[in-house]
A and B are shown apart, each in its own frame.
Chain A
Amino acid sequence: MSSVDTTAEVHDEHHDDDHHDHGEFIAHHFDTPEQQYDSGKLGIWVFLVTEVLFFSGLFCAYVLLRYHQPEVFVAASEHLDKVLGGINTIVLLFSSLTMAWAVRAAQLGQNRFASRLILITMVCAAVFLGVKAVEYSHKWDLNIYVASHYNYIEGYHPDAPSEGLAGALGVSQSLINLCVLPAILLVGFLVAGVIYRVRESQAMSALYLAMAVMMGGFFLGAVGGQIYQNAAESAAAHGGDHGHDAAAGEHAEEAAVTGPDTTSKYPPPIGMFFSIYYIMTGLHAFHVIGGMVALSWLYYRCTRNHFRPDYYGPVDFVGLYWHLVDLIWIYLFPLLYLIN
């Protein structure tokens, strides 16, 4: 019997130090780079399964509510701008392409090229959020909130802000508020990048400058989205009444009359669509932000030349995550924006 020969590999201390055989990123408890890669790959796939299930609860709620009140969903989705949603869809699809390309580049050990592609992906993510900020702020200006605070009155147009920064730029105060944190981050990253450059820490400097470029993407999206928004508004104002169908008007009026009164016998059902809308897109945006952090980490590792044909797992795994974030948007876009 040869049971002594059929033994499990047991590691010895010296594995921790032989960087040149197994690479410096092979954890001590794995036998081979392949085992580490396989574990990571299975781990990220399982994680994606949990993500899908996490969102599945929202999709179930969506189906249930839409099944009960289909006409509300048709009417409410009129408030969502198909063009802005479409632009964001294209931006995310493009970012998936650059991400997949980055995985390939990392696999070939082309760290420099991979870092460029990852930077493009980061910028796309930020552009997406910038456009989203325009969409959110526009709805808030119209008092379109979650069900309990939904207070939109048909035909209502907010007054143009006249004072402060918002008045000077001709954009809504809500958008300005949404841009405060990104602006702080942009300046902070720039300053950090310059400080590290002065200290001659090239990798850190490159990381912070890349993150500053990423935050620039946010403002690119916000400015572009707002320009489109203003054009669409004035077109609508000149083009006369091409507004919503009768059912939508009726519901909106009802909402306006009853308000968010919890004792009302006829609650404003149209607000429920926006509850689902804000939760779904908000949670998705949160995942986009998570992706931006992970991508920044990858960018840093690329500038340190960490990846090579036998070690590129992290790029692959973050890539899979990023594709899932895109995929969820691919479902959200038609379900929310393209009803009818």
Chain B
Amino acid sequence: MSTTPQAAKLFGNAIGEKGNYLNASRGIKSWLLTLDHKRIGIMYLIGVTVALLLAGVFALVLRSELFTGTKMFLTEAQYNQMFTLHGAIMVFAFIIPSVPAALGNFVLPMMLGAKDVAFPRLNLCSFYLWLFGTGFLLVAMLTNGLDTGWTFYTPYSIKTTSAVMYATMGAFILGFSSIFTGLNFLVTINTMRPPTMTWFKMPLFLWSLYATSIIQILATPVLGITLLLLFAERALHIGIFDPAYGGDPVLFQHFFWFYSHPAVYIMILPAMGIISELMSVHAHKKIFGYAFIAFSSVAIALLGFLVWGHHLFASGQSTLLSLIFSAITFSVAIPSAVKVFNWLATLYKGSISLVTPMCYALSFIFLFGIGGLTGLFLGTLSVDIHLHDTYFVVAHFHFVMVGGTLTALLGGLFHWWPKMFGRMYNDFMGRVSCFLVFAGFNLTFFPQFVMGARGMPRRYARYDPEFQIFHQVSTIGAFVLGIGVVVAFAVLVYAIYRGPKVGGNPWGAASLEWQSSSPPDYHNFTHKVVMNDPYDYSVMVYDEDLDTYIHREFTVPEKPARTEPEPTTT
């Protein structure tokens, strides 16, 4: 099989004269002031990984403390601070920006065949807001700590002496970082699609990022004003959330969950988008039910705004209102199930290669399935009264956020890593990390369902002896999970330095980002990309000369050579 010279340029590692995005310019300044979405994505990736590891260490400290049920090395007050900071950093500084801002930033413009996002400066601004916001959270940690839980519930958050003002300021700034990312992505997808890429020719990852952007834009400002009011409450005692002045503390809960329930979908929707890509590419089969998956993303985004009251079943909310919120909560299961069924149907009769990203994707389906289904238990009014504020809730949302989002993030990283750095990792070790994460995760959180159902309340530093065995299994699992995550990152980082080089399209994927060199050129593409169905893998054929997949257009030698772009004259 022979190739045209363009193929070598498109799918080999020929790059423009500026070099690839990693070596186009050097020095710390060229990174800190960059407007390149790829570099900003990498900086975000480093940032959120540090946040993940920090908050992960907190989690291990918590689990260690819980090994015996009596005091080991944390006082009750320190325990409260530890779980608060674990939650706040994980939610605001890690999960919410993780997939969209790190992976999305890198992949989104390339999937569109574009040079950058619509507002590159705003993109960099988002990153620095993330940095400042996270910095404020750390300042809160280092000054008085924070013991309100990540939810900042009033009136306790008005009264506590811990550093609520720094923490709310941090979360407020992180909120704006998130809004600007969402705004940027929404505008980019709307206005920078190539003319022939209609909405229903977009990769599904873009659909999920679009739905995520809508939530970021519509929900996050409400968190902003809520935190601002809480800030004013602390600074001036305005009394709006304070019953002492005729204010309403439950209003805070409504405001907070009006954001924070949709925020759950900010965390899980991009993860679902990754899974759609991984399922299809690594089963080498066209995605099943494209339109259903696309619309279910939007349906989840919109329904997500109407269910926040399910967090207030035990807060004295009217029964009728609880009933309505419960019913709408159940309805979210429909689009979620639509996605899972379509992924499974995609696997059916596909030629599945069990590479690392696919292993993570399969873990995702299993874990997200459990996380989603246990959500139905909690959405049921009577059952929730029993399970409210128990470990059952803790296990449920960790299955969605860690089993779902973190697993998908790792899968996505293993999938796009060869594109980002032009090197392949050790696939065996990748699968080992996946096994450790999967086993460790289940060991950690499955016992928590049992504990919770038997009445173990969340956020308690001490517990009765009957729960000890569950806590001990959970603690051992947490360390296995921690080791799994560290192994995963070690495998990835090792690959950057020692991994074998790969061509532009090692998986045979058909979406546009795989039509660039690996790592991509400074301007993403050195040639005009060839538009095709992102899930039609028949157009990609393996080329031995380049040791990568190339577009069928370039395999016929008789085909007239396409004209080169005009040489640069400056």
Interface residues of A (CB under 8 A from B): 3-4, 6-14, 16-17, 27-30, 35, 38-39, 42-43, 46-47, 49-51, 53-58, 60-61, 64-65, 68-69, 146-149, 262-264, 267-269, 271-272, 275-276, 278-279, 283
Contacts and interface: CB of A to CB of B under 8 A. Distances in A.
Nearest to A46: B183
B523 A11 contact: yes
Interface of A, secondary structure class, is helix
Given A53-B218, A53-B222, A272 B239 contact: yes
A42 B225 contact: no
B552 to A, nearest CB: 10
B248 to A, nearest CB: 6
B245 A4 contact: no
Interface string B175-189: 000010001101110
B239 A271 contact: yes
B192 A39 contact: yes
Highest count of chain B CB atoms <10 Å: which of A12, A147, A271: A147
A12 B566 contact: yes
Contact of A56 (B222, B527, B529, B565): B222
A218 B123 CA distance: 35
Contacts of A7: 194, 528-531
B570 A14 contact: yes
A274 to B, nearest CB: 9
A57 B230 CA distance: 12
Given A8-B529, A146-B237, A148-B236, A272 B247 contact: yes
A29 B523 CA distance: 9
Contacts of B319: none
A17 to B, nearest CB: 6
B570 A64 contact: no
B570 A35 contact: no
B245 A272 contact: yes
B192 A35 contact: yes
B191 interface: yes
Contacts of B220: 50
Interface string B228-265: 11001000111110101111100100010000000000
A8 B553 contact: no
B531 A6 contact: yes
Nearest to A27: B120
A43 B78 CA distance: 44
Given A3-B531, A6-B196, A271-B245, A50 B183 contact: yes
B119 A54 contact: no
23 contacts: A8-B195, A8-B528, A8-B529, A9-B528, A11-B523, A35-B192, A39-B187, A42-B191, A49-B217, A50-B218, A57-B221, A69-B246, A146-B239, A147-B247, A148-B236, A148-B237, A148-B245, A262-B244, A263-B244, A271-B239, A272-B239, A272-B240, A272-B245
B403 interface: no
